[in-house]
Structure 1
Amino acid sequence: MMKQTLTAVWRQTHEFKRHWVSYLTLFVSVDLLIQLIWIPIFRAVTTLVLQAAEIPFISYQNVLMIARHHPLVMVALLAELACLLLVVYVQFAAVLLGVRDISREIISVRVLLRELGQALRRLRPGSLLVLAIYFILVIPFADLVYRTPLLAKVQVPQFILDYLTRNALLLTATVVLYGILVFLGLRLIWTLPLMVYQRQRLRPALRQSWRQTRGRSCWALAMQLLTIGLLAALVMAGFYVLVIGAQWLADFLPQPMAALLANVNLLVIQLGSELVTSWTGMVTVSLLFLAPGEHTPAASPRVATRGQRVVVGLAFAALIATAAVGNSLYLSDSQYHHPVTISHRGVAEQNGVQNTIPALKRTHRLHPDYVELDVHETKDRQFVVLHDENLKALAGVDRTPRQLTLKQLTQLTVRENGHRAKLASFSDYLRTANRLHQKLLVEIKPSPADSPDMVDRFVARYGDDLVKHHALVHSLDYGVVEAVKRRDPRQTVLYIQPYNFTYPNTAANGYSMEYSTLTTDFITLAHLQGKRVYAWTVNDPSVMMQMMYKNADGIITDNLAELNREIADYEEHRSYARRLLNYILVVPTATEFTP
């Protein structure tokens, strides 16, 4: 099976070489239309709809509220979702039709647009929900054909995955569920090609795809996809090794020659990546979905006119020039951004029990810019430093902070990471931090059992002290964010977001964003409004570097010493070869020319 697949890939590679410019133009054009036109349009429409209804943001916290109190907004957002699905459908159809047309030597934008119009007219409105489920199922395989920027945003936040892997039962259930989804994705992968090539409706295409992939056919399909994926990865890795090796030698040359070659090599990396991506997509579509007769040149092939070739040439020249400007900025020292370092829950490398004073003292020796901690209200309306909603995990007591007084809570011993300590009142924790000259990032964690004036009392009691010692406040509850700003506008308050749905328009001074869905666009828009963005919870060295390249203002981590090493390492070893390697490994630009 593998030998047959490799032979077929080699045959399709020869076909790719004949029209590589056309294939590259197809994939790059579809990608740029999505990134430069459709994504900005969807973002602008969402922003306008929310602003018109005076809704500051969308999150899992307020979706039901929007549905109940703003039905027209919900209708508008659902209509936007339907349009997004249509765009995803059209871009995949464009790739499938474009590959077929080029293989038949029909190279005409007009023909492709006419075919896309026909494919779109065959799609029924009632099929959109089924189509959405289909796209989710085939995302792992769709990335092999064409990594769409829209579907790339559909991902599970990392903190949820971390939670699922902590429990053996949950991990087993997750693996089983993922296996089922992969199996269903394989069985239904033919649906879209059948709709596009054979002009079938959605439901008949689903049924035929299920029939075509039963038994050994499903296994053969999986092996073909795996072989193509591994081959593409090997080609890309070999290409990267050659370019990085060349730059390593170039770094020994004097300036400005080393910098000039670095710019050239980065552009080679971008163009080469696009070329390999186009080759992978063409080979996959041709090998899996095109019947042998589909490769036969048309009786009256249409080639690009001289004017069309000139337009394409000018567009690529402009794209390369734009990329060159972005590359020079990326490689310059002026682009380096030193992030604020923030110790998550006041611990570093498991040096103590989270949110306790002994851990604070040890962590302070690593010189974090901020120590992050969590605050709950107690039964007697005081404030205790604690993250969990229940004391069972740390103290072995099946009670909530709201069920005990502060005196009872501070008598409890909590255990973690081989350490033990007493719970601390926020007053004691704040007093210790002030004595150490350690700035704090305070997360207020409300619960339904809290007193109605909890936030007001907290700000009245500690507001002056927090401002005096340059502390920050953040919360997952936007009501808390608004209440703190309303009670004391001097406070610097961040709104914590576990998922990047869209750019919010809030009263917050900035955002603490879960890192796996945090984008450069979000950070740039926040900076344009004078707001800061902190990434949480970043424990992997490569992700730390990624957040620095994205210009995150701060990084919240459990591994503060590791973060300090990554920052120091970047500052001390800024060779051009290292920067190119970082671009490949940690800057997510697989489908972009500019960093």
Structure 2
Amino acid sequence: MHKAGQVMRQAVHNIYVYRFDYVQVFALIRIFQFLLMIPVTSIVLKLMLRVTGFTHITEQNWQSFMTHPFVMIMICLLILLFLLFVYYEMGFLFLMAFHQQRGLRYRFLPLWQQLNRKVVYFFSVQVLFLIVYLALLMPLASFMLPLTLTQSISLPHFLTEEIMSSRAGRLAYAAVASIIVMIGIRSILTLPIFTIQPNISILRSFKQSWRFSKRGLFELVVLLAMLLTGHLLMMLGITVVATFPLYLIERLMPSAALVTAGLTLAFLEMVFVVLFSLLQAMFSQVMVAITYNTLVIGKLSGTTHRKRRYKPLLLISGIVFLVLSMMNINSLEKSVYAPDTKIIAHRGYVAGNVENTISGLVSAANAGADLIEIDIQQTVDGEFVVFHDRTLRRLAGKNGVIANMTLSELKTLTIHQNGFSDKIASLDDCIEIAKALDVALLIELKVHGQETEDVLPKLVEKLRKYKVLDSYYVQSADGQKMTQLKKLVPNLRVGIVYALNIGPMEENVDFIALEESWVTEQLIEELKQHPTDLFVWTLNDDRSLQTFIEKNVSGVITDHPDVARELRTQQSENQYFLQRILNRLRFIF
């Protein structure tokens, strides 16, 4: 622990002494990231869509898209560009830390040239080791360094939710995650070794990191934990102090609350960017110190800097602060109005019930859902049963394919989930109960390939019989069938379900249901222009729900309709700006 304390003190000291160097480096990194990397990625994607003739990429066409020769070349180039960005970003910081800890003078150009000499490895087979290395570190990097390009890279939530829905899945997920984290930590020193040592390959760097971590793993984990804890505590303290004036003004001088909120949010945004940059610098300092055992050297030599002028930095900071403040004031003023996002209960209310059952439907209605989503399939006798899976294995614990069974057979079965049991329901049962509860349904048609030719007319006739054509919604992952349904009944609200989407969407339907990982600001604005409603699925944590409710998307599909309704209520005109600011900070960071 004494050595850990020394490493931390040295890191803080170096960053302070070389603070102007870090300001320049991080400014260049952010400018390069936001003005080049992100636009280039967007341009390349649009170019790939244009060359291949695709309007957008979905789970139905992604294989054809990915196997196109031009797309394969462009993806390889994007991966290479991403690797080079990470290499130069972190490599520069590692080299700076190494020279600072050794008390060596340095200039930016020689550091840049040293990194350039190792770029040859990116055009060899050894680049595969770097890809594996970064993949192992991705979860750690996205948590510790959220302003880097790793921030938005994660597994889609619908995949992890399916895995976590069973005990075996949770155990397997925990085991795999533990193995990945352990391997990632043991290989974490690969990049500093590779960038600092001039004559070492990526593979040798990986092996050295693995050997070193046998004796220094505990110390490394302790230091990383100290870094994260200190960073979070500092963020919390600054947030409390910075928002206290707004807390008072909202209660004593409400007329000044909007401007104060805009200024406060701008200040915190800038401070958080600085703090995350400092975390990245501390990370590089600690990694180098642990790797090369460069403890405190006393008074560092070669650290004298000519006097720097603070005025240009203060001027730029002031301009950024004013611009952010004005943008935030305008944005916060718009957020005063309560959103009208629909709360859609996913497969009914599964807490305390079995999915897609009458009891789940009743509980969802009592929880205040605006719509209740149910899954239907056609049975062998042409009827509609409310059931999600193709087989009975998960919920009934027995063999049996829904498409090969009659509705009467299915309704006699008992299904189980999370310690609860219920009976399988028909579409007629659900519509009758929904009408009695005065709540609308979002019906998802699951296509198994054995439907009758008149499956759509039969569904329409069912909805017409209960006089709900004008109030219900119907969706499916089969876009062709939904287009046919819309032509068949123009007044029925019809939508297409996507688990994946990249690029603009031009569908002749009323709404799009899209998995949250692929929803972008650009897509939200694009669909509003059509206009086409956007339902986002499946949102089960408070942060995701809060994010999309504040964005005022058309609907959020969730297993927790009660929580979603409460969060929507909090966005009413009576909500304090302080709460809105805290929500914004959660969205950004």
Q: TM-score, normalised by structure 2?
A: 0.85
Equivalent AA in structure 1 for residue 333 of structure 2: S
* Contact map agreement 1:144 1:280 (CA 8 A) in 2: no
Counting only pairs closer than 5 Å after superposition, residues 178-577 of structure 1 correspond to structure 2 as: 178-199=177-198, 200-213=200-213, 215-289=214-288, 292=294, 310=312, 316-334=317-335, 336=337, 337-347=339-349, 349-350=351-352, 352-357=353-358, 359-395=360-396, 397-414=398-415, 422-430=423-431, 432-434=433-435, 437-451=438-452, 454-455=455-456, 458=459, 462=463, 468-485=469-486, 491-499=492-500, 504=505, 506-515=507-516, 518-571=519-572, 573-577=574-578
* Contact map agreement 2:540 2:560 (CA 8 A) in 1: yes
Q: Matched residue of 1:321: which SS?
A: helix
With over 3 angstroms needed to count, the CA separation of the structure-2 counterparts of 1:9 and 1:419, relative to structure 1, is closer
Q: 1:59-92 CA distances to partner (integer Å, 9 max, x unpaired)?
A: 4543333356x44434444443343333333333
With over 3 angstroms needed to count, the CA separation of the structure-2 counterparts of 1:482 and 1:451, relative to structure 1, is same
Residue 298 of structure 1 and its aligned partner are, at CA, apart by 9.1
Q: 1:300-339 CA distances to partner (integer Å, 9 max, x unpaired)?
A: 9997998x985x6665455333322332134325465331
Identity of aligned residues (%): 23
Equivalent AA in structure 1 for residue 557 of structure 2: I
With over 3 angstroms needed to count, the CA separation of the structure-2 counterparts of 1:242 and 1:466, relative to structure 1, is farther
Q: 1:468-492 CA distances to partner (integer Å, 9 max, x unpaired)?
A: 4233222234444455456556554
How far, CA to CA, are the matches of 2:401 and 2:121 in structure 1?
57
With over 3 angstroms needed to count, the CA separation of the structure-2 counterparts of 1:5 and 1:396, relative to structure 1, is closer
Match of 2:34 in 1: 35
Match of 1:81 in 2: 79
Match of 2:13 in 1: 14
* Contact map agreement 1:107 1:304 (CA 8 A) in 2: no
Residue 340 of structure 1 and its aligned partner are, at CA, apart by 1.1
Q: 1:419-459 CA distances to partner (integer Å, 9 max, x unpaired)?
A: 76553333453455456553321211111444466456545
With over 3 angstroms needed to count, the CA separation of the structure-2 counterparts of 1:551 and 1:362, relative to structure 1, is closer
Q: 1:170-223 CA distances to partner (integer Å, 9 max, x unpaired)?
A: 33332222222122212222222223222333222222222332x222222222
Q: 1:29-64 CA distances to partner (integer Å, 9 max, x unpaired)?
A: 423432343223213322332243233433454333
* Contact map agreement 1:105 1:303 (CA 8 A) in 2: no
With over 3 angstroms needed to count, the CA separation of the structure-2 counterparts of 1:335 and 1:227, relative to structure 1, is same
With over 3 angstroms needed to count, the CA separation of the structure-2 counterparts of 1:447 and 1:243, relative to structure 1, is same
Q: Matched residue of 1:252: which SS?
A: helix
- Which range is displaced more, 476-485 or 535-544? 476-485
Q: Matched residue of 1:571: which SS?
A: coil
How far, CA to CA, are the matches of 1:401 and 1:304 in structure 2?
77
Q: TM-score, normalised by structure 1?
A: 0.84
How far, CA to CA, are the matches of 1:457 and 1:84 in structure 2?
51
Q: Matched residue of 1:274: which SS?
A: helix
Q: Matched residue of 1:346: which SS?
A: coil
Residue 356 of structure 1 and its aligned partner are, at CA, apart by 3.5
Q: Name the count of aligned residue pairs.
A: 582
With over 3 angstroms needed to count, the CA separation of the structure-2 counterparts of 1:167 and 1:427, relative to structure 1, is closer
Equivalent AA in structure 2 for residue 474 of structure 1: Q
How far, CA to CA, are the matches of 2:17 and 2:372 in structure 1?
59
Counting only pairs closer than 5 Å after superposition, residues 63-78 of structure 1 correspond to structure 2 as: 63-66=62-65, 70-78=68-76
Match of 1:593 in 2: none
Equivalent AA in structure 1 for residue 30 of structure 2: D
How far, CA to CA, are the matches of 2:529 and 2:305 in structure 1?
47
| Runs of 5+ consecutive residues of structure 1 not aligned to the other structure | 591-595
Q: 1:331-352 CA distances to partner (integer Å, 9 max, x unpaired)?
A: 32546533111121133743x5
- Which range is displaced more, 567-576 or 281-290? 567-576
* Contact map agreement 1:346 1:356 (CA 8 A) in 2: yes
How far, CA to CA, are the matches of 1:363 and 1:567 in structure 2?
16
How far, CA to CA, are the matches of 1:170 and 1:181 in structure 2?
16
* Contact map agreement 1:348 1:560 (CA 8 A) in 2: no
Residue 374 of structure 1 and its aligned partner are, at CA, apart by 0.8
How far, CA to CA, are the matches of 1:47 and 1:456 in structure 2?
38
* Contact map agreement 1:24 1:274 (CA 8 A) in 2: no
Residue 378 of structure 1 and its aligned partner are, at CA, apart by 0.9
With over 3 angstroms needed to count, the CA separation of the structure-2 counterparts of 1:272 and 1:79, relative to structure 1, is closer
Residue 502 of structure 1 and its aligned partner are, at CA, apart by 5.4
* Contact map agreement 1:58 1:504 (CA 8 A) in 2: no
How far, CA to CA, are the matches of 2:433 and 2:17 in structure 1?
71
With over 3 angstroms needed to count, the CA separation of the structure-2 counterparts of 1:182 and 1:370, relative to structure 1, is same
With over 3 angstroms needed to count, the CA separation of the structure-2 counterparts of 1:132 and 1:359, relative to structure 1, is same
Q: 1:223-274 CA distances to partner (integer Å, 9 max, x unpaired)?
A: 2212222222222222222223343223233144333332222222112212
With over 3 angstroms needed to count, the CA separation of the structure-2 counterparts of 1:368 and 1:316, relative to structure 1, is same
| Runs of 5+ consecutive residues of structure 2 not aligned to the other structure | none
Residue 379 of structure 1 and its aligned partner are, at CA, apart by 0.5
How far, CA to CA, are the matches of 2:222 and 2:90 in structure 1?
22
How far, CA to CA, are the matches of 2:272 and 2:41 in structure 1?
27
* Contact map agreement 2:372 2:441 (CA 8 A) in 1: yes
With over 3 angstroms needed to count, the CA separation of the structure-2 counterparts of 1:25 and 1:525, relative to structure 1, is farther
* Contact map agreement 2:374 2:443 (CA 8 A) in 1: yes
Q: Matched residue of 2:211: which SS?
A: helix
How far, CA to CA, are the matches of 2:467 and 2:317 in structure 1?
53
Residue 569 of structure 1 and its aligned partner are, at CA, apart by 3.0
- Which range is displaced more, 287-296 or 377-386? 287-296
How far, CA to CA, are the matches of 1:553 and 1:237 in structure 2?
33
With over 3 angstroms needed to count, the CA separation of the structure-2 counterparts of 1:78 and 1:304, relative to structure 1, is farther
Residue 135 of structure 1 and its aligned partner are, at CA, apart by 0.7
Q: Matched residue of 1:150: which SS?
A: coil
- Which range is displaced more, 435-444 or 114-123? 114-123
* Contact map agreement 2:4 2:219 (CA 8 A) in 1: no
* Contact map agreement 1:5 1:227 (CA 8 A) in 2: no
- Which range is displaced more, 268-277 or 252-261? 252-261
Residue 285 of structure 1 and its aligned partner are, at CA, apart by 0.9
